[in-house]
Amino acid sequence: MEKVKVSIVIPCFNEESNIPLIVDRVENIVKKMNINSYEIILVDDGSSDRTLEKIKTICEKNKNIKGLSFTKNFGHQLALKAGIDNSNGEIVISMDADLQHPPELIEEMIKKSYEGYDIVYTVRDDRDEKNLFKKITSKLFYRIFRYLSEIEMDEGSADYRLITDKVVREIKKEKDPFIFLRGLIANYEFKSFKIKYKPSKRVHGESKYSFKKMLNLALSGIFGFSLKPLKILLLIGLILSMVTIFFYLFLMIFDGMDIKIWLIGETLSVLSFFVFFSLYIFSYYFERVFFLLFNRKNYIIKERKNLN
């Protein structure tokens, strides 16, 4: 495939109304910067609305717009990965379809890459975030992630970022089915520049990130970059077992062997809860290994438009 100057990757899940708007805004910016060699890659992540039709129509009219569609909903991170895997830009910018990532920042990002930065990433300014639950859980996640992974990832990091082809080459090698791009890219430690931005309001539709999807993303981040949870669990298990043994010994010595049956029941419940909880956490690690072991495909492409 012919190399282009800039690729813009946009994952789309049920975004039929936003697609024409985002394409228009992004095209205006690259044209204003006199960049004629560009591609906008729209990745349809198994939408159930008319997203794919919209993508096809735009691709018919404009060869700079390229389309990919998945057989089913593989999720935002894999849609981004597929877009990056199929990109040919000297620089690649990823952004959301709903216009929450202000397209105007693209100009500043590109200028920064000309100054020699390989990554220009953005960080959400959450001060105006109305959803208190989202605000607190997001803060908590970044703290836990930083502690467990020892990767310096800024609070509020978004998937709105520019990367140069050096970084793209590394991402293309990744095979993780539960990829967490924010953590991965921060971990590469290429020369990076940070831009703060205020997220705009979603133009059409509602958030496509359900609580379940958000939780899964957070867990992929944590379990993909740290084995500490397993070690912490092992330590807690050890402490719990020791406390139980000492407790029984204490009762046997000072209470004359009269260990109450309910007490045994209680401690057994605590210990078995703990064992099952540990197995549950372990299954997250195992799931990853399982996928990689059988060399399963991370995503399956149904159709391509203007892409070989």
Tell whether residue 83 is a contact of ligand UDP (CB under 6 A). no
100 binds Mg ion (CB under 5 A): yes
Please report whether residue 15 would count as binding ligand UDP according to CB under 6 A.
yes
Q: Rounded to the nearest whole angstrom, what is the least distance from the CB of residue 98 to Mg ion in the complex?
A: 4
Are 158 and 129 spatial neighbours (Cβ–Cβ below 8 Å)?
no
CA dist list (Å): 11 to 16, 114, 186, 304: 12, 25, 21, 14
Determine the Cα–Cα distance for residues 39 and 46; give it in Å rounded to an integer: 21
Under the binding rule (CB under 6 A), the answer on residue 101 touching ligand UDP is no
Q: Does 122 bind Mg ion (CB under 5 A)?
A: no
Quote the least distance from Cβ 10 to Mg ion, whole Å.
12
Place of tokens 């958000």: 214
Is 85 a binding residue for ligand UDP by CB under 6 A? The answer is no
First and final C-alpha spacing in the chain? 8
Interface residue with ligand UDP among 87, 100, 113, 164 (CB under 6 A) is: 100
Q: Residue 100 or residue 157: which is nearer to Mg ion going by CB?
A: 100
Q: Is 208 in the site for ligand UDP (CB under 6 A)?
A: yes
β-strand 301-305 against 157-164: which pairing, if any? Answer: unpaired
58 C-beta neighbours (distance < 10 Å), count: 21
> Whole-number minimum distance, CB 95 to Mg ion, in Å?
10
For ligand UDP, which residue has the nearest CB? 207
Strands 65-70 and 89-94: unpaired
Contacts of Mg ion in 79-98 (CB under 5 A): 96, 98
State yes or no: residue 97 binds ligand UDP (CB under 6 A): yes
CA 61 to chain centroid, in Å, comes to: 32
Which run of H or E residues covers position 280? helix 261-293
Which residues sit at the interface with ligand UDP, rule CB under 6 A? 11-13, 15, 45, 73, 75-76, 79, 96-98, 100, 207-209, 213
